[in-house]
Structure 1
């Protein structure tokens, strides 16, 4: 095993040859997982005050446990959702690097910023990625949510069960669908993995995803987990849409 001095020297050599770069624009930075000043200022980090359930930002503090109108009118199956940043140009670019750019290392960067929202979760919670259908994995080569879940597990010590949920039905792109059409498209698309039900009964499950848009997929996953006996289902993601134009 290398001692401290040799490891430090090796790290300096690697940093010289492959210096850390901004995940947004590629500018050289001082450390890994750091954005340059320009990209950093373009990110909108999310937190309180927000809807206690879906994490939608509030303009002002509304009291403990306050929920937005959408959650009150039609409560989702999940208990709590939190995102590191609002969906925007830089957030989208970084997510696409991981999703389609063949850059699996970006998952560690996303986990770096998402981990702060896990502080209040049950220490015995199980991390579970939103699953992809096997055809999608064969095409892409990996499930980006599973990479993020693994990175979060490494950072927090929480157990990551990458096979807890399965996507048993291929679904069409949801982008141009209405809320009702999206809900119908993902109905019956998910199932708990073989032999996993006894292990989740009465437990808190933290669903991990890259981007939250309409919530149809996350809600379908949460419903499946609740029906299988999970006590609570929380969601954590890199970015979420925060405009009022969600369908």
Structure 2
């Protein structure tokens, strides 16, 4: 949370500084609203608002809601003593960005190639449930109320292509960065102690390629780790 507050403060300072320096460049269209096309595939509706703050700078804020639907799904855990269904999640995301347009193709608005920096925060919820069989062959239904907080920060490069007097297609080509994962899991049912040993082993195998160690227990049901991140996207925009 300290990292998130610091990043938000830095973005706020940058936004105020750019706004104070911004001058009216005579743009016909200083505002743009957009819809992320790629995110729709994953069951997310994300809209954005961009405001020109001068000749080359802009500030963009995106807000989205992820449903449990979508073509991209995480398969569940399937082990002899531990089985779950597909892992689904839902929640909100917010993405502030600062952009610098290297060159414009039109004088009415900001377009063309741009560089920028972003902060992305996701707050999701998920029901992690399944069946566990202990060493005495006794079956237990388990259910965890899971909260997922994922915060990333990084740089980006993209190209905004005008396709008409007011419409654009915004290609976010690359957005490398770093992401903080913070997962909390609240147990809703009584479970034997050995369940957590088997769950930790299952999760370590599930995320084997990430080399993450898990230490879940009845007293500490939380996972946090840091990984590299990468953003990309395609948005349809309307200028006004």
TM-score range, shorter chain: under 0.3
**Which is helix-richer, 1 or 2?**
1
Scaled by the length of structure 1, what TM-score is found? 0.25
Structure showing greater radius of gyration is 2
| Bigger fraction of residues in strand | 2
